[in-house]
A and B are shown apart, each in its own frame.
Chain A
């Protein structure tokens, strides 16, 4: 069984997402983000960097994370964690967030790019639709899973390192943890089982 560790920033929304009954069983370890330096990452197949984890806590450990990826680990960077600051090969374009597209009669414009990816056996495009805060330029050879705004808002990179990086600008843990936006709960209902059961680590 895939060993999944998640970072906890001590926020209320991480507490609800990581410790409450709905999802707690998915996590083999919950690591306080400020103690990341004390943890043996090689004990886990996947490191889930929870939404809105402070990048200033992650930057000092970018070499440790790079070594983890070099050994075949999987790093998952959720939304608003600034992964371009601590993961290799990440190119980020910050964009103003449109929280109100659904009131303005338009659509958010998400596109499912790679419907054969096993994630979409768990998560629908509707489950990923609330807002995004910008997009990424994935490196050549990476699989863009969801696109919007001229780039990727969820992609999987198995080419930059011997490991795997799943990078997204979606922040479901924040909104689920705030009792807000049901789509974010549906996203986690599919995304966490995908990571735990379907994802193929390269370790």
Chain B
């Protein structure tokens, strides 16, 4: 299995954010604004935090594209707001916020969510709305993994790029916010790392 590279959030993001330390083996973390200095081909996957300077990330998109073309996996968390990669489209919020709209539904079985009860994503301490409040529209050919509300707005999707590499999109807070949780959502972090660090051959799921 290849190594996963986690980009740290911008430092202003605060000390209240999830930390993968102690939950993930064979992963590295680097400071936010060092990403352009890194030789990405040394890693199987790059995992981005929701507290991302998307203007900075967009400015180094050529290197990211090369990494993907070479078979790398990119995991994105958050709302797409700035131009970054052609596969990314601006965030679309839910038309209204109520329990029905915030309900998370499994659309396609995926290793990252194996054994994860969707109710554990819909609710956190009995409160709905932490998981996602909209979606980043997928490119044609992407596979929706989870969806919100009656419209099943795809808040998680995966995409195998024709030119190479995979993109895992999550339109919400960092998926590693569930690291160490007492509920089934704790399965996400190790399963995400296993999937992201695995060979990017065959089915993008």
Judged by a CB distance under 8 angstroms, whether A3 is at the interface is: no
A12-B79, A15-B82, A54-B32 are contacts. A179–B133 as well, Cβ < 8 Å? yes
Known: A103-B127, A180-B129. A12 touches B12 (CB 8 A): no
Q: Which of B16, B54, B91, B125 contacts A11 (CB 8 A)?
A: B54
Compute how far the CA of A133 lies from the CA of B78 in the bound complex, rounded to whole angstroms: 22
Contact of A10 with B133 in the complex, beta carbons under 8 Å: no
The answer to whether B125 touches A103 (Cβ under 8 A) is: yes
A9 to B11, CA, bound (A): 11
Q: Any chain A CB within 8 A of the CB of B62?
A: no
Which one of B45-53, B140-148, B160-168, B192-200 is at the interface?
B45-53
Do A10 and B11 contact each other (CB < 8 Å), given the known contacts A103-B127, A178-B133, A180-B129?
A: no
B contact residues around A80 at 8 Å (CB): 12-14
Contacts of A13 in B (CB 8 A): 79
Q: How far is the CB of B15 from chain A (nearest CB, A)?
A: 7
Asked whether any CB of chain A lies closer than 8 Å to the CB of B30, the reply is no
> Are B81 and A9 in contact (CB-based, < 8 A)?
no
Q: Interface residues of B toward A: which range?
A: 20 to 34
Q: Are A52 and B16 in contact (CB-based, < 8 A)?
A: no
Give the contacts of B40-62 with A (CB-CB under 8 A): 50-57
Closest B residue to A52 by CB, please name it.
B12
Q: Chain A: interface secondary structure?
A: loop
Chain B nearest CB, measured from A58 CB (Å)? 9
Interface contact A10-B12, CB-CB below 8 Å: no
Contact call A52/B133, Cβ cutoff below 8 A: no
CB within 8 Å of B: which of A124-179?
Answer: 133, 171, 178-179
User: A184 in the interface, Cβ–Cβ < 8 Å?
Assistant: no
Task: Provide the residues of chain A in CB contact with B16, threshold 8 Å.
Answer: 97, 99, 133
Given A11-B53, A12-B50: A53 and B82 interface contact (C-beta under 8 Å): no
Interface residue A23 (Cβ < 8 Å from any Cβ of B): no
A94 contacts partner chain B, Cβ-Cβ < 8 Å: yes
A97 cross-chain contacts in B, Cβ below 8 A = 16
What is B's interface to A at a CB cutoff of 8 Å? 10-16, 32-33, 50-57, 78-82, 91, 93-94, 97, 125-127, 129, 133-134
